[in-house]
Amino acid sequence: MSKQPSDKTPGLSADEEQEVHANQPPRAAVLHEIIRSQGDKELERSIAALWWSALAAGLSMGLSLMAMGLFYSRLPDHESSQVIASLGYSAGFLAVILARQQLFTENTLTAVLPVMTTPTLANLGRLLRLWSVVLFGNLAGTLLVSYVMLNLPIFDSKTDIAFLDVGRKVMENDLGQMFSKGIISGWMIATMVWMIPSMENAKLWIILIITYLMALGDFTHIVVGSLEVSYLVWAGEVSWAQFGLDFAIPTLVGNIIGGSFIFALISHAQVRSESGTPTAKHSTPNDKAKAPPTADR
């Protein structure tokens, strides 16, 4: 009886076959479990720890507006300037994510997966607690940064005008655009968070590419956008009512839908469909990927 021909490349040693196996990308179930476990740790953190980390993230996001304003003020007044200036948008995200600070839209994926895995009222309460504290901390940080940027003599007049122009561009969107672009932005951030565990060495480039595309597409983000629009409020061009009703609410809802109800739900459904049961119980030693060590945010 003849043997079935093998599809494997002939001539590989045992060590080489082991190397091939070790370099296989992790299954979706493994990525799901890495992110779920990280989210579970975030849900267990104290309110004080979440607050200070979220406030630090809001302050760090000031780098995005600073960098974009500095780019625009030093580039020729042309539409193509956005191609370069959009790189500045990534600065705040790089600072926040690499420093392991709490960012609201990142939590629309990581903190949601534990709730989807174990949908109890207790877990839902933990999620709402985390979202409330982190969102409030992020917004407090961005409002403080925008006030300081406007009122302290830090930047020249050309850069100040560039800051105003960035905020005005955000407010050109109507409610439907704020909401729709917020969905795309939330989905893109969730995609970035999903990709990072499988390509930890390329984390910087993943963050840079995804957030750069967000800036090029003028997609709305509740944290960065609050920085840009609140600058207009402090300058007297926009009211707080417009900040909340025209920008914050539709953008926030869009971010949550894009990150939680679209990306997280579909990713969770994919994993559950593959395993039929919680992924953590069915992972084999060969399937497990080493999760990067998590530092307290």
H helices of the chain, where? 14-22, 28-43, 47-60, 62-74, 81-85, 90-98, 104-110, 112-117, 121-151, 157-171, 175-195, 203-216, 222-234, 240-242, 249-256, 265-275, 279-282
Whether residue 296 has pLDDT greater than 50:
no
Q: What is the pLDDT of residues 62-83, one digit of tens each?
A: 999 999 999 999 999 887 889 9
pTM check: above 0.85: no
**Rounded average pLDDT over 1-7:** 53
CA distance 68 to 215: 10
The two tokens of residue 271 are 């994993």
Q: How much is the pLDDT for 35?
A: 79
**218, 147 Cβ separation under 8 angstroms:** no
* Crossing angle (nearest 10°) for helices 62-74 and 121-151: 40
User: What does pLDDT average to over the chain?
Assistant: 84
Phi first, then psi: give them for residue 201, nearest 5 degrees. -70, -20
**Rounded average pLDDT over 209-223:** 96
The pLDDT-based confidence of 39 (bands split at 50, 70, 90) is: confident
CA distance 73 to 268: 44
Between 197 and 92, name the one with better pLDDT. Answer: 92
CA distance 93 to 196: 14
Residue with structure tokens 């750069």? Answer: 212
The pLDDT-based confidence of 288 (bands split at 50, 70, 90) is: very low
**Rounded average pLDDT over 152-179:** 96
Domains delineated in the chain? 26-282 (1.20.1080.10)
Which are the contacts of 228, defined by CB distance < 8 A and separation ≥ 6?
A: 65, 146, 163, 166, 167, 170
Whether residue 109 has pLDDT greater than 80:
no
**Rounded average pLDDT over 171-190:** 95
